[in-house]
Amino acid sequence: MPAVPVTAVLVHSPFLGPASLRPLADALAALGHPAVLPDLRPSVVAPPVHQRLIGAFADVMSDAPPPGPIALVGHSGAGPLLPAFAEQIDDAGGQVRGLVYLDAGLPTPGRSWRETVPAELYAQLRAKSPDGLLPRWPNWFPGHPVDAEIAEEAPEVPIAFLKEPRPSLDWDGPSGYVLLSGAYEADLAEAGSRGWPTRALPLTHLAPATDPEPVARAVLEVLLATAG
């Protein structure tokens, strides 16, 4: 382990809020590992969402920068933004040691969310967004119960976000992957093909909130393999 602990900066999905990762932050702290959890919800309510998200992240991290080296842990829809977030920290003189994708999509520089999913899914969401705002994420998958606090925090994101090209940035530093659900098995396979350290847990997408202890241990194993 490094002499100065690597702080895990937990980045929640643009479609959720910090409640989706707060139990994970607590579990990491219980294991003696520093973690911070910025709230990025105010930045996703109007386009251009990517630009606003990146700017908000930069502001949060410059206002209260963690001491020492940093690893970014992005859950779900935050994954494709991790290289852009890392660039903001590096440009400000910080030290990003690694990126950990937590049941998350991998970056698709220059391509939008719409271009990476089946056309039917986008059409379904568009039909549910007559006012230009997506339904809150827990309503994308009816019949799957979501914790009340997580559901209440989920923001209304403009559907324009799904059509915005993602940042055209590459990250050439260490990366790792932790799988929690079957939806991201292709991303895990891609991570493995790149030689990244990986872990796979038979849990659910929201396990950082519902079953945080094993998730914290897996995240730490990958984090230390990438950033240690």
Query: Per the domain annotation, does 54 fall within a domain?
Result: yes
| Other residues' Cβ atoms within 10 Å of the Cβ of residue 152 | 12
Q: What is the CATH number of the domain that holds 200?
A: 3.40.50.1820
Q: What is the DSSP letter of 31?
A: T
3-state class (DSSP) for residue 218:
helix
198 φ, ψ to 5°?
-135, 155
User: Which token pair is 78?
Assistant: 């935050």
Give the pLDDT of residue 2.
44
Cβ burial, residue 205 (10 Å; 0-12/13-18/19+) = buried
Please report, rounded to a whole number, the percentage of residues in the chain having pLDDT higher than 90: 83
Which residues are CB-neighbours of 141 under 8 A, at least 6 positions away? none
Q: Parallel, antiparallel, or unpaired for β 175-179 and 198-200?
A: parallel
Q: Would you place residue 228 in the very low, low, confident or very high pLDDT band (cuts 50, 70, 90)?
A: low
Query: Per the domain annotation, does 23 fall within a domain?
Result: yes
| Other residues' Cβ atoms within 10 Å of the Cβ of residue 86 | 25
The total number of residues shown for the chain amounts to 228
| Other residues' Cβ atoms within 10 Å of the Cβ of residue 4 | 11
Which H or E element spans position 49?
Answer: helix 49-63
Per-residue pLDDT, averaged over 101-125, amounts to 95
For residue 47, give the nearest of 35, 55, 38, 36 by alpha carbon. 55
Q: Would you place residue 1 in the very low, low, confident or very high pLDDT band (cuts 50, 70, 90)?
A: very low
The domain tally of the chain equals: 1
Query: Per the domain annotation, does 81 fall within a domain?
Result: yes
Across the chain, what does the average pLDDT equal?
93
Query: Per the domain annotation, does 55 fall within a domain?
Result: yes
Q: How far apart are CA 219 and CA 210, in angstroms?
A: 15
Which position has the token pair 């998958």? 141
pLDDT digits (tens, 9 = 90+) for 142-152: 777 899 999 99
* Domain encompassing residue 58: 7-110+169-227
Q: Would you place residue 140 in the very low, low, confident or very high pLDDT band (cuts 50, 70, 90)?
A: confident
pTM as predicted:
0.95
Whether the predicted pLDDT of 211 surpasses 50: yes
Give the pLDDT of residue 83.
96
Query: Per the domain annotation, does 1 fall within a domain?
Result: no
Q: What is the DSSP letter of 166?
A: P
Preceding amide of 48 cis, omega within 30: yes
Give the pLDDT of residue 4.
60
Give the pLDDT of residue 86.
94
